[in-house]
Amino acid sequence: MKRASGIVGLIGGILGFLAAVFTLFTGGLVGALEGATGGGDAGSTIVQFGWLGILAAFLTIIFSSLMFNAKSKLMPVLLLASSVIGAIFGGTFVAVCMVLCFIAGIIGFMGVGKPE
């Protein structure tokens, strides 16, 4: 269960990173178009979502890789927390990918402490 949790979490974290890069690209594009038209600051907000998504994706990748040798329930809890933070603050595309990390945290929480 720990191995499956680590693999699913890594896949979710990598997809979350790609989604966060896409969010950064979109925020930059919106910011450039708003600057040309004299609009508001929605582009900078989207860019902030992208940076928070990258942070959350890196945290989920780190915690997922640490799940392979987890002996306590701390790693699954940290994986769950970072996936929830990424889903809330990372933007829509990152939130979709963080669902995989959330599932991986639940699987890891059930599998830690059991012999493989």
- Residues in the chain where the model's pLDDT stays below 50: none
116 belongs to a structural domain: no
The tokens for 56 are 């959350």
53 belongs to a structural domain: yes
The residue among 32, 60, 27, 62 whose CA lies nearest residue 45 is 27
The tokens for 45 are 């907000």
56 belongs to a structural domain: yes
64 belongs to a structural domain: yes
- CA 18/CA 22 separation, integer angstroms: 6
What pLDDT shows up at residue 39?
62
**pTM score:** 0.86
78 belongs to a structural domain: yes
For 36-77, the DSSP string reads HHT--SHHHHHHHHHHHHHHHHHHHHHHHHHGGG--SSHHHH
Name the one residue in this structure whose structure tokens are 């933007």: 91
Tell me which residue range forms the domain holding 81: 2-111
Task: Give the number of domains in the chain.
Answer: 1
The tokens for 39 are 């609009």
96 belongs to a structural domain: yes
Angle of CA points 114, 111, 106, to nearest 5°? 160
Q: What percent of the chain has pLDDT over 70?
A: 91
